[in-house]
Amino acid sequence: MELSRDERIYLRTQAHQLSPVVMIGNNGLSDAVIREIAVNLDAHELIKVRVLGDDREQRENWMTEICTNLGCAAVQHIGKLLILYRPTQDGKPRYELPKPGRKTPSKTAGKPAPKKPAEKVATGRAGKPANSKGRTAIRTKSK
């Protein structure tokens, strides 16, 4: 399953608030772990998987193996987290993916342009006002 750039961006924003539901431990990618990922994909469509190993290349291999075995799409691999997506086969999908070729609306779309504040008109003379008698203050050193 392939995702477009816009779909991938949308799913990343939706996955931001999710917690990992499956952990791949020191035993690696076993049949039990693959079954657990499949169960969670059926239930949630979009899941996070935490991998405890330090080898980045191994994590990438596991991600491709999961995607080929389960027919899901790799949304993101960041650090030790894998984000996977597979729409449900029956019923309405939980996530409404953006239509291809359509731009995602920006945050300012449909909002009026911000108004500039009115310029203040200076009245009187600029600078500090003089003391009450019209003289400037003289500073002296205290002894």
φ and ψ at residue 7, rounded to 5 degrees = -65, -40
pLDDT by residue for the chain (143 residues), tens digit each? 788 899 999 999 999 999 999 999 988 999 999 999 999 999 999 999 999 988 999 999 999 999 999 999 999 999 999 999 999 888 777 887 887 665 555 666 667 777 777 776 666 666 666 565 656 666 677 66
- Beta strands at 46-51 and 20-24: parallel, antiparallel or unpaired: parallel
Predicted confidence at residue 99, as pLDDT, reads 78
Q: Check the CA dihedral 62-63-67-72 and report its sign.
A: positive
* Residue-level length of the chain: 143
Predicted confidence at residue 96, as pLDDT, reads 78
All residues at 6 or more sequence positions from 8 whose CB lies less than 8 Å from its CB, including other chains = 75, 76
Q: Which fold has domain 5-85?
A: Translation Initiation Factor IF3 (3.30.110)
